[in-house]
């Protein structure tokens, strides 16, 4: 976006543009250059992004669960040898 203060012109980025850029750089660029029109591919892409985000969330949760199980296993082995 552009805004004028006296003679100087300032370009700035809005918070919503930052969010759009983080979500999808290609979509931000297309929108910034006036090339963005909603079609079936974009709707499908949005659904695919949502599915991917869900899968990544589950992957992170499984990783945390695995780390916890590993730590408990190490603790169990340590306790076994410490008590014997």
Query: Looking at per-residue confidence, does 42 or 33 come out higher?
Result: 33
In degrees and rounded to multiples of 5, residue 2 shows phi and psi of: -130, 140
| Domain co-membership, 75 together with 46 | yes
User: Residue 81 pLDDT > 60, yes or no?
Assistant: yes
| Domain co-membership, 45 together with 61 | yes
For residue 40, the model assigns a pLDDT of 86
Percent of the chain with pLDDT over 70: 88
| Domain co-membership, 48 together with 78 | yes
Counting the structural domains of the chain, the total is: 2
Percent of the chain with pLDDT over 90: 31
CB 70 within 8 A of CB 78: no
Question: Which SS3 state, helix, strand or coil, does residue 22 take?
Answer: helix
For residue 13, the model assigns a pLDDT of 77
What does the pLDDT look like over 37-69, one tens digit per residue? Answer: 777 887 888 888 888 888 888 999 999 999 999
Helical packing angle, 25-32 and 15-23, nearest 10°: 130
For residue 8, the model assigns a pLDDT of 64
The distance from CA 1 to its chain's CA centroid, rounded to whole angstroms, is: 24
- How many whole angstroms separate alpha carbon 26 and alpha carbon 2? 21
The range of the structural domain enclosing residue 70 comes to 39-84
What's the mean pLDDT when you consider all of the chain?
Answer: 85
């Amino acid at each position: 976006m552009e805004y004028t203060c006296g003679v100087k012109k300032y370009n700035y980025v809005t918070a919503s543009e930052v969010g759009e850029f983080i979500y999808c750089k290609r979509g931000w660029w297309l929108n910034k250059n006036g090339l963005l029109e909603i079609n079936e591919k974009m709707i499908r892409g949005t659904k695919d992004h949502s599915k991917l985000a869900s899968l990544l969330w589950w992957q992170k949760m499984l990783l945390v669960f695995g780390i916890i199980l590993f730590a408990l296993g190490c603790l169990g082995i340590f306790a076994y040898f410490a008590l014997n």
